Amino acid sequence: MQQLTLDMGLTPQPSLDNFLADHNDAVLEHLRLWVSNPYRSPVPTLLWGGPGVGKTHLLQAVRLALQGQGARVGWLDASVMAPDEFDERWSVVVLDDCHLYTAEQQAAAFNWFVNAQTPVSGPARWVLAAADRPPADLPLREDLRTRLGWGHVFQLQALGDGERRAVLRRAADDRGVFLSDEVMDFMLNRFSRDLSSLMALLEQLDGYALRTQRAITIPLIKAMLEHE
């Protein structure tokens, strides 16, 4: 029987502080200023870029920061198959993975956008969205696509190898795990190099290492691939 490992909460929650900006300083500064400003502008913001550049991390970081301030946040991503109706108590609407939305999700996103920007009562709400391409190229209904491009649009740049290593090292340190340079070379050369995949791999390795009571080494990685 395989021993189960309890989630000890060692995985840090996404935050603006633990996002490695590198070439994305303008994006990070924009989000920090918005989150920290009680008189925030309601002009929409769209982040776009390829897989693993940190879009979801930043959206989740903003949501957690605002919830920590007592704000209510509407959240929609491609996994939410039955979106809620717009809630007047929301201070912000966050739309992740817009390029993957179904027709029903697009209808909900459009409704949320319109109600957030032109509410029946109260001030306009901010809309923060993310996609894998610029708004002009999004495979969405025209009224939603054009609205997503109304305001601030930022392209997130992928990290270089040195930055990827820094992110891996920091994530491992946060978990109390040691990754040797040899192990990081193996991970970067043999697996998908986007950050979301690397973080998922690190989480899987950490769990397997805990269950087998072994350090993370190349032989352990190979053993995990054979057994799991």
Tell me the pLDDT band of 12, cut-offs 50, 70 and 90: low
Q: Does domain 25-155 have CATH number 3.30.420.40?
A: no
* Comparison of pLDDT for 52 and 33, the residue scoring more: 33
What architecture is domain 161-227? Answer: Orthogonal Bundle (1.10)
Boundaries of every domain in the chain: 25-155, 161-227
- Average pLDDT estimate for 24-45: 90
* Comparison of pLDDT for 179 and 22, the residue scoring more: 179
User: Is the pLDDT reported for residue 33 higher than 80?
Assistant: yes
d(CA 163, CA 23): 10
String of DSSP letters for the chain: -PPP----S-SPPP-STTS--TT-HHHHHHHHHHHH-TT-----EEEE-STTSSHHHHHHHHHHHHHHTT-EEEEE-TT-SSPPPP-TTEEEEEE--GGG--HHHHHHHHHHHHHHHS-SSSSPPEEEEEESS-GGG--S-HHHHHHHTSSEEEEPPPP-HHHHHHHHHHHHHHHT----HHHHHHHHHHS--SHHHHHHHHHHHHHHHHHHT----HHHHHHHHHH-
| Model confidence pLDDT, tens digit, residues 159-183 | 777 877 888 888 888 888 899 999 9
User: Is the pLDDT reported for residue 6 higher than 50?
Assistant: no
Angstrom CA distances, 121 to 118, 124, 128, stand at: 8, 9, 20
User: Is the pLDDT reported for residue 97 higher than 90?
Assistant: yes
pTM listed for this prediction? 0.77
pLDDT at 21: 67
Tell me the pLDDT band of 11, cut-offs 50, 70 and 90: low
